[in-house]
Amino acid sequence: MHIHEYQAKSLFRQFNIQTPEAILINSTKEASKACTELGGEIWVVKAQVHAGGRGKGGGVILCRGVEEVENACNKLLGSNLITPQTDAKGLPISQLLIEGGQNIERELYLGLLVDRQTQKITVLASTEGGMDIEKVAAETPDKIIKFGVDPLGNLTTEDCLSIAEKLNLEGDLAKQFSNALIGLYVIFTTKDVSLIEINPLITTAENKLLALDGKIDFDDNALYRHEDIIKLRDISQEDEKENEASEHQLNYISLDGTIGCMVNGAGLAMATMDLIEHHGGSPANFLDVGGGTTAERVAKAFELIQTEANVKGILVNIFGGIVRCDLIAKGILQAIEKVGLNLPIVVRLEGTNAPAGLKLLDEATFDIHTEADLTQAAIKIVELSKGVST
Ligand code: ADP
Ligand code: MG
């Protein structure tokens, strides 16, 4: 689960990580009061969306004077923000953070994640923080400092001070850094976080170390034990289809291609997507209907795929292990009866009761192409979908 910058910063403050003064608003009429309360003459208006790269997408606007703040609010509120990290549609903006403009001296990067290779919680830090950290990581990886925390020990003040030294932070700034990093580590370990980032972590002309941005991703599997975190969820920032799918225990992820896939088992779904690509197509989604799926779930999955705008063909690939193929065939027919069929569909069934399932589909009045062989099924759907215009 993701949360907004303002929510991450509120957690930061509870764990001794300093942040600039800021006020959250959801209408332009609150802007002038917020500026007065914050004081100063320069403010930054920041769109609250679940994506990074907001600065590059025009979602972080530096304003001189209240009028500029109000113009920025009018421009952002109610619109969608497209950033290098969102899809082409972007994410809706309904909240803005008004923050005092800071006298930035340095922009650092600080984050924590679990490094799968070393199997340790790992601190990532860099002197080259800011909006191009991805470029730094790709082109000059030696500029990223990595420190793996001993799983049997803890992150110590000594460890933090040694990282501070590598970042050229001295005196009080090194101390502030150590406090901030310990705070991040405590949040990471006590809240079941999978990624926590401050980018940029700035030093100011006033010798302060402040988290100017905040990103926290929580492990969904552990959310049940964090009621306080669950409350922070904002479903307006999530994919509607993916949410609807998960309510029906379907594992669904929208993609950019044109061939809708319905498969049981994540591994088989991946293989099916690869095969579609191999034969010149591109998948419109990843969809795992689960091992012990039901006819109802298949019907729901079918509905979800059919309503995706870019889909030009559907490939169903089911291996009947626990589930019986004749039940799947019934589910498909039920779904077509309910939502109609306006796209080419190829169904490949294999395993328990596959012949009975294929027979049901062949005998139905709908135009369903059945295949027993997966390669043939992939070739067929790529060919059929090419004839469909949207
Ligand atoms: P994102 O990472 O989504 O682009 P950030 O919050 O990191 O958003 O803001 C982008 C950039 O805008 C920062 O790297 C910083 O240079 C600048 N910025 C953000 N907030 C402030 C602020 N309060 N004062 C001055 N500059 C800011
Ligand atoms: Mg940032």
Q: What is the DSSP string of 23-60?
A: EEESSGGGHHHHHHHH-SSEEEEEE--S-S-TTTTT-E
What was the pLDDT predicted at 26? 96
CA-proximal residue: ligand 1, atom 14 (nearest):
130
* Angle at the Cα of 315 from the Cα atoms of 312 and 321, rounded to 5 degrees: 160
**What is d(CA 298, CA 318) in angstroms, rounded to the nearest whole number?**
10
- pLDDT in tens for each of the 390 residues of the chain? 999 999 999 999 999 999 999 999 999 999 999 999 999 999 999 999 999 999 999 999 999 999 999 999 999 999 999 999 998 889 999 999 999 999 999 999 999 999 999 999 999 999 999 988 889 989 999 999 999 999 999 999 999 999 999 999 999 999 999 999 999 999 999 999 999 999 999 999 999 999 999 999 999 999 999 999 999 999 999 988 888 888 888 889 988 899 999 998 899 999 999 999 999 999 999 999 887 777 788 888 888 898 888 899 999 999 988 888 998 898 889 888 888 888 999 999 999 999 999 999 999 999 999 998 999 999 999 999 988 765
CA-proximal residue: ligand 1, atom 9 (nearest):
55
CA-proximal residue: ligand 1, atom 20 (nearest):
212
Ligand nearest to the CA of 5: 1
- pTM for the model stands at 0.83
Q: Which atom of ligand 1 is nearest to the CA of 55?
A: 4
* Angle at the Cα of 160 from the Cα atoms of 155 and 143, rounded to 5 degrees: 115
What distance in angstroms lies between residue 214's CA and the mean position of ligand 1's atoms?
10
Ion ligand 2, residue ranges at CB < 5 A: 199, 213
Are 156 and 88 a contacting pair, CB within 8 Å? Answer: no
**What is d(CA 136, CA 146) in angstroms, rounded to the nearest whole number?**
14
What was the pLDDT predicted at 124? 97
| Closest by Cα among 267, 347, 255, 252 to 301 | 252
What distance in angstroms lies between residue 20's CA and the mean position of ligand 2's atoms?
14
* Helices 325-339 and 295-306: angle between axes, nearest 10 degrees: 40
What distance in angstroms lies between residue 212's CA and the mean position of ligand 1's atoms?
6
**What is d(CA 89, CA 309) in angstroms, rounded to the nearest whole number?**
13
CATH code for the structural domain at 21-101:
3.30.1490.20
Alpha helices in the chain (DSSP H): 5-14, 31-38, 66-76, 133-139, 157-166, 171-190, 227-230, 240-247, 266-278, 295-306, 325-339, 354-363, 374-386
What distance in angstroms lies between residue 45's CA and the mean position of ligand 1's atoms?
10
Q: Is the CB of 101 under 6 A from ligand 1?
A: yes
Of 109, 185, 350, 371, the active-site residue reads: 109
356 SS3 class:
helix
* Angle at the Cα of 327 from the Cα atoms of 326 and 333, rounded to 5 degrees: 90
| Closest by Cα among 18, 383, 388, 378 to 198 | 18
**What is d(CA 169, CA 201) in angstroms, rounded to the nearest whole number?**
12
Q: Which residues of 294-333 are buried (b: 16+ CB within 10 A; e: fewer)?
A: bbebbbbbbebbbebeebbbbbbbbbbeebbbbbbbbbbb
Active site residue 185: no
Q: What element of type H or E holds 104?
A: strand 104-115
* Helices 374-386 and 266-278: angle between axes, nearest 10 degrees: 60
For residue 157, give Cα distances in angstroms to 154, 164, 173.
Answer: 10, 10, 14
| Closest by Cα among 377, 157, 303, 194 to 369 | 377
CA-proximal residue: ligand 1, atom 13 (nearest):
130
**Fold annotation for 239-385:** Rossmann fold (3.40.50)
Of 5, 99, 197, 371, the active-site residue reads: 197
**Phi, psi at residue 382, to the nearest 5°?**
-65, -45
The tokens of 24 are what? 């959250």
What was the pLDDT predicted at 247? 86
Handedness of CA 108, 137, 214, 48 (dihedral sign): positive
Q: What is the DSSP letter of 2?
A: B
Active site residue 252: no
Options 3.40.718.10, 2.130.10.10, 3.30.930.10, 3.30.470.20; which CATH number does 1-20+103-238 get? 3.30.470.20
Every domain of the chain and the residues it spans? 1-20+103-238, 21-101, 239-385
Q: How many residues does the chain have?
A: 390
What distance in angstroms lies between residue 149's CA and the mean position of ligand 1's atoms?
29
Q: Is the CB of 4 under 6 A from ligand 1?
A: no
Are 46 and 95 a contacting pair, CB within 8 Å? Answer: no
